[in-house]
Amino acid sequence: MNLIAAGLGVVVAGAAAGAATGALAPARARPLATGLLTTTVGLGGVLAGAAALAGQAWSMTVPGILPLGAATLAVDPLSGAFLLLIGAVTVAAGVYSVGYTGPGGRHATDDDAAAGAAAAPGAEPAGQRAVDAGTGHVEAAASRTAQAVLPLFVATMLLVPAAASVSTLLVLWELMALTSLVLVLAEHRLRRSVRDAGLWYGAMTHAGAVAILLGLVVFAAAAGGESFAALRAGAADLSRGTRSLVFVLIFAGFGSKAGMVPLHVWLPRAHPEAPSHVSALMSAAMVNLGLYGLIRVGFDLLGGGPRWWGLLVLAVGGLSALYGVLQASVATDLKRLLGYSTTENVGLMLIGVGAAGVFAAEGNRALAGLLMAAAVLHAVNHAAFKTLLFLGAGSVLRATGLRDLDRLGGLAARMPITTALVAFGALAAAALPPGNGFVSEWLLLQGLIHSLTGTGPPTVVVAVSMPLAVGVVALTAGLGVATFVKAFGVGFLARPRSAPAAVAVESPPSMRAGMALAAAACLGLALAPVAAAAPLARVLQVMPTVRDGAPLADSGVRLQLVGIAGSMSPLLIAIGLLVGTAATAALARWAGRGLPRRVAPVWGCGGTRLDSRMEYTATSFAEPLTRVFDDVLRPEQDVVVTPYTESRYLIESVRFRHRVPDRLEARLYPPLLGAAARWGRWSRPVANGSVHRYLAYGFVGMLAVLVVVRLSG
């Protein structure tokens, strides 16, 4: 029995049943039914992906289902890696969604808000507005439309890696974009920011789809067929200019979906506004399909290319990593911070892919394979910890109605399980051991560093670009630590700064179960990454320019590099940290035996009654970084002084506003939007409603196409 076919059959059947249940089931039964069916869809993806990584293959052609030809599906190890990734994220998000959209859990009441205000000095007395916002958020996520579309969105994501022809890929890609747009707009009645985010997301995702369409159509026309098999066979006969045009177009299109800079502007808007389990699916699963498309077309179908392709991807990846982590380090909206963190991690993946392209063009397949393996492994690791973090942010939002770190705090006492799980996710996202993010970033650094210590002298391009890439990864890692120390310390460990934060309650069991599944995946990937050695070797076999045996050796508990002097044991590092912590605690306890104990208040800069106003906020924590990177971030500050009407020398109030805008967005997009608006005004007379004029346009356009075809032939 072919397990890939069985798994994809479960995906399709589960999606159809989930959509029908979401549309027709009564409100009380809908969250449980659709959550379980969405989880079933994810399990089908896990089954198909695991079978493909184990060595099974599968293909199928359904004639007559598409207007331009048959629907062609095929699954190989590269497809399997992303099927497994998306399916695993879906399982955690599906379990989580049962409690997130259901009636379980507890929201604060007016009495709770008053009690919280009394318990939190300096907190606002009226916290019910934020709690109501959280309630409205949940109600929107539990609507019939959102529940019916969720399993369809997951199914289209899972079928994208299985597409084996241009038309099949484009249709599934567009369905994925449309279903995700519907989910982003789930709360459009609550906030205008949701409608703005939907507009940006719809525009950017369809602009990216146009770039992918143009690139693949040019590729198919030049190769003489639209199936992936025909594209592989015809790629060698393409001219150098055609190959480069195809690569640039698909890099822009798939990179837009991945959220690379400067095509990232939709990501920090759409991810915060979507329901939190949808945010996890988009950030941890959907953006990785941009990486999949780049690898599939660039390294499989095109078979690799010249060195400048890799340098282009490397440069954009470095820019995305640095800019994403800088914006995350100064963000105060928790989900927006996680969105920019996704841009950072996509940048790290692109650094690995770009460096692999450089070494593949130079014939160094060992380093190319190691760096490509690091990029794919980081995609898997990022999916695990970003799922956990977005689900944790959703738990905070459901309990408090807040995403603003400056108004949170005190959650460690009120939500201990969520706090512990988010702490583990933050450790992984900060790339610190024993987190799973540390493993893939270590592999990435090993590949970049060893490019300068080979048997022969490196080329000028390698000697210049690789040290810069190492510096970018190192700086990104340092800023990532600061970012998640800020997010976790201010949001969870500080004193509550608002009434909703002071009366927050723990998440329902299914939400905690979903987060626990993601945390278990992080733990497994952190302590036993050696298990990924054989699957990664099979993934690399799909790409002819980078395959050169297995980049990692299956050496027990050690992660041993093949052909390169480097090894590490994450399990031993974790054991060492635990033993060291226990020994330090025991030593301190032993040294303090027999000494008198005294109870004294915590030092509070001369004060004895600490309250939330004396602690760092997220804004003040990030202020030194804002100063250091002032030329890049360009923060905006406004001071509004309001005097009394009786005398302008007596001040009634002083209002200070600090904001860090997205400078790339502010510089690049207003001119483009202005040009589009001018073009629209100029072209308005052309569309005057005359049928005769429209027929003339079509006739002239057809003549132009025929002339071009005749001249090019």
**Regarding predicted confidence, which is higher, 137 or 4?**
4
Residue 81 included in any domain: no
Report if residue 417 sits inside a domain.
Answer: yes
Please give the distance of CA 233 from its chain centroid, rounded to a whole number. 34
pLDDT beyond 60 at 27: yes
Give the per-residue pLDDT at 190. Answer: 76
Is residue 121 predicted with pLDDT exceeding 60? no
> CA distances (Å), 4 to each of 73, 89, 94, 262, in order?
11, 18, 21, 37
Read off the amino acid at residue 223.
A
- Overall domain count for the chain: 1
Phi and psi of 217, rounded to 5°?
-65, -45
- Residues 529-555, mean pLDDT to the nearest whole number: 83
**What was the pLDDT predicted at 456?**
63
Is the pLDDT score of 619 beyond 90?
no
Instruction: Give the range of the structural domain holding residue 394, as residue numbers without chain letter.
Output: 376-578
Mean pLDDT, the chain, integer: 86
DSSP 674: H
**Span 420-479, pLDDT tens digits:** 999 999 999 999 888 889 999 999 999 898 877 765 677 888 888 899 999 999 999 999
- Is there a contact between 515 and 98 (Cβ–Cβ < 8 Å)? no
The residue type at 287: V
What is d(CA 470, CA 276) in angstroms, rounded to the nearest whole number?
Answer: 34
Residue 412 lies in a domain: yes
Given a cut of 50, is residue 544 above it in pLDDT? Answer: yes
Burial class (CB in 10 A: 0-12, 13-18, 19+), 283: buried
Which of 475-484, 610-619, 622-631 is modeled with the greatest confidence? 475-484
**DSSP label at residue 105:** S
Model confidence at 651, in pLDDT bands (50, 70, 90)? confident
pLDDT score at 120: 40
Give pLDDT, residue 141. 62
Are 431 and 382 in contact by the 8 Å Cβ rule? The answer is: no
Residue 41 and residue 155 in contact, taking contact as beta carbons nearer than 8 Å: yes
Range 365-378 average pLDDT: 91
Tallying the residues shown for the chain, one arrives at 713
Backbone dihedral angles phi then psi of residue 706, each to the nearest 5 degrees? -65, -40
In angstroms, the CA 431 to CA 435 distance is: 6
Say yes or no to pLDDT of 123 above 50. Answer: no
State the pLDDT confidence band at 712, using cuts at 50, 70 and 90: low
Q: What are the distances in angstroms from CA 150 to CA 22, 102, 488, 506?
A: 9, 15, 29, 25
- Residue 615, pLDDT above cutoff 80: no
DSSP 302-365: S----HHHHHHHHHHHHHHHHHHHHHHHH--BHHHHHHHHHHHHHHHHHHHHHHHHHHHHTT-H
**How many Å apart are CA 467 and CA 472, to the nearest integer?**
9
Identify the pLDDT of residue 112.
38
Asked if residue 528 is part of any domain, the answer here is: yes
Convert the pLDDT of each residue in 273-293 to its tens digit.
888 899 999 999 999 999 999
Per-residue pLDDT band at 128 (split at 50, 70, 90): very low
Q: Which residue has the higher pLDDT, 104 or 144?
A: 144
What the block records as the tokens of 109 is 């009441």
Least confident of 100-104, 395-399, 425-429, 668-672: 100-104
The per-residue DSSP string of 269-306 comes to HHHHHS-HHHHHHIIIIIHHHHHHHHHIIIIIIS----
Q: Which pLDDT band, with edges at 50, 70 and 90, does 546 fall under?
A: confident
Q: Between helices 416-429 and 365-400, what is the axis angle to 10°?
A: 150
Terminal Cα-to-Cα distance of the chain (whole angstroms): 49
Which has more confidence, 64 or 365? Answer: 365
Compute how many other C-beta atoms are within 10 angstroms of the C-beta atom of residue 557.
12
Beta bridge partners of 564: none
pLDDT score, position 496? 87
In a domain, 128, yes or no: no
- Residue 110 clears pLDDT 70, i.e. is over it: no
| Letter string b/e over residues 188-199, b meaning 16 or more CB atoms within 10 A of that residue's CB | beeeeebbebbe
Identify the bridge partners of residue 71 per DSSP, sorted by sequence position: 62
Q: Give 308's pLDDT tier (boundaries 50, 70, 90).
A: very high
Q: Are strands 567-568 and 558-561 parallel, antiparallel or unpaired?
A: antiparallel
Q: Is the pLDDT of residue 364 over 50?
A: yes
CA atoms within 13 A on the CB side of 1: 6
Q: What is the predicted pLDDT for the residue at 522?
A: 93
Amino acid at site 554: D
User: Quick check: is 396 in a domain?
Assistant: yes
Report helix angle 460-488 to 334-361, nearest 10. 160
Tokens linked to 659? 């904001």
Is the peptide bond prior to 434 cis by the omega test (within 30 degrees of 0)? yes
Judged against a pLDDT cut of 90, whether residue 163 lies above it is answered with: yes
Instruction: Check if the beta carbon of residue 300 is closer than 8 Å to that of residue 414.
Output: no
Beta bridge partners of 559: 554, 568
Q: Report the amino acid identity of residue 504.
A: A
* Residue tagged 């879906």 (tokens): 90
Contact by Cβ (8 Å): 273, 137:
no
Angle in degrees, CA 295, 260, 660, rounded to 5:
165
Q: Using DSSP, how many helices (H) and how many strands (E) does the chain show?
A: 28, 7
Q: Tell whether 523 is covered by a domain.
A: yes
Where does the pLDDT of residue 127 fall: very low under 50, low under 70, confident under 90, or very high at 90 and above?
Answer: very low
The conformation of residue 491, written as its DSSP 8-state character, comes to I
| 115 phi/psi in degrees, rounded to 5 | -65, -40
Among 140-144, 200-204, 310-314, 694-698, the range of highest mean pLDDT: 310-314
In a domain, 662, yes or no: no
